Structure 1
Amino acid sequence: MNANNSKHIKILIVEDEAILAKSLEDSLISMGYTVSGIADSGIKAIMLFFSTEPDLILMDIRIKGAKDGIEVADNIRQQKSVPIVFLTANQDPATFERAKIEGAFGYVLKPYQERELQIVIEIALNQFEMRKKNFEMELSLLNAEKLGTIGTLSAGIIHDINAPLSNIYASLDLIYKNLKDSDLINDPKFTKSLNKIEKGAQAIKSTVQNYRGMIDKNENEESIMINIKNILKDAFEVCSYLTSEKKIKFIELSSSPDSYVYFGKVSLFQVLVNLIRNACDAIENLPDAWIKITWEDINEKFLKILIVDSGSGIPENIREKIFDTLFTTKKPGKGTGLGLSLSKIILEKFGGKIELDAECPNTCFVLTLPKEKIN
């Protein structure tokens, strides 16, 4: 690792001997690293780790407090993966074995040699980066396998859904034709119910098309100019039976009501319906349940939509998994684990993206959508 790269690496020192800690700090700075902090106990080490987010920890095994360095390392790594190099004057095989079991990326004996320390740090950082890349590659392969399985299952499911869906559309056509000679055409409740049936059928059709799109990448919907307010209204109407049944309030706010984006209309509609349904399921048992949707221009090229519900947010330990294919926290029969992963695929396909706003006190998903056609 050259000096230019090491300048961006932050290292946390956990050492209860002040003189040695200062010596380590001087050595690391001379190597070009940044020292993010020095802790002399396990509690301080954990606090500094989460406040400074170092890229590596130099951890003395014998430190102040009820827990030794190996136990503190275990506590930290249960929360977040980070390379840890252990420091010790103890050459006891049992201690070395404990450090190895904990997954130590390096082991330096005191008194240390500066060159030896630098080599161990560089190897630890490189090993961690390689493990991270391997993990990401394995995750990609796993998701590819999952999508392949979904494709096989979906081919049969799509066929089974299309038959009754065709009957629904045929029945709707027949009803509309007969309405011309009926007084029901003037009944707003009846016509509103028919509109809901038609939009519900369109939602099912769009879901089928999107699942098919995961199987057949050549079937692409074209981007067109879409009025955000109008498509949100359509999506919410389809989900209105959920909000009324579960007594969920819907709040819509915007500083620019006539905002437009370029996107596949059916695809964007399906994404919005997925997110609204997810929100309804998540907050259905809350005494004050609400969903708030706002949108605003980011710049000349992009617009963002915020879909916020009254929930208390996504637990930190599953935030990185929520967009994984087949991952769900819902009870069996309530969710497939496809909604968010499919929404992510759809948005990226049209040049957009979806993110979780972890800073929001409630559950908030942010959609970024293009305002111009993207090839």
Structure 2
Amino acid sequence: MSIKNKDTFLQDTLDHMPVVFFVKDIDDRYLNVNAEFEKLFNWHRKNVIGKTGSDLFPKEVNDTLRLNDIEVIQQRKAKVWIETVYDYQGRPRIYETHKFPYFDDEGNVYAVGGIALEITDKIKAEEQLEANRKVLLRSARMAAVGEMAGGIAHEINNPLEVIHAHHYLMQEMSEKNETQGENWAKNLKVINDAIVRIQRIIKGLLAFARQSTNDPKVETSVSEILAELFELCYGRMARKGVALTFPKIDPKIKIECRPYQISQILLNLLNNAVDVVSSLPERWIQLEFKEKEEIFEFRVIDSGKGIPETIRHKLFESFFTTKEFGFGSGLGLSISRGLALEHNGSLEIDEKAKNTTFILRVPKKQI
């Protein structure tokens, strides 16, 4: 086979590859491109070879491409980049570009080759998946709050009734010009305490309901997370006759997290526990905490006798539920485990425990 035929053979091979291929010298001049390159930019090969990237691409695009080339030249080894260019119709196209150096006989880099695989659809699909995940998280959060809605309404209604009753007493005292005595001050304090109680409940509800997917992880007191969580839980548990016990926790203990995502995990576990134990003779839920050197551990224990082995392995699967139709989507535990993993933590069942026990482990510091 002649040299000419070898060149033709090589070019034919490159032109039939379903990827973009190019070679540039160290001064950024194109030495060769394949048919996919021509098709992408609607340029003929003869109009590309000999030109630099700055001759062909907008400055902001070529600056990035050139910096990546230079790194390959300087480090003398192959690198992989995610690069964005614009096709002949002006549409952004995203590529996973494998760039590699060519060496001459003396070991000097004289050119950079590139093989670029388009991943535009993959990136868009991932972005759509992430958008769907955010919607799902928000829906799950709203569903968790919805399960507590009756209890929350009760928790707000109680202090409202207190305010109404003491306001009536103060009206009577005002009519009798008894606005300076000790009873007047006591009534004011009772009303103020009731208002603060309502504010705490609403603050916890609004904070929990807000989007938090993009929030940075911040150092947060575990006791603060639990205080706002309990404001949402007490009402429903009281109505169902479920006793909740937990030890006092040092306010100085902190974990680096998105606090409302940790709340979402715990609220889901508590909701599930309430659903299970509300039909049992013994109705209790117990929280336990363990602080280790690098990990903080939450344990949610209820009066149930554990998860049957036949369904244990399915429990964290999406859309798996043991609840009746219309009561639960089967996403709560799946989402909760995902949130735990996002925190470099874990959510699992304690299979050896006498009672149903879920363990949430979260690193104190995120890497």
TM tier, shorter chain?
A: 0.3 to 0.5
TM-score normalised by structure 1 residue count: 0.47
TM-score normalised by structure 2 residue count: 0.48
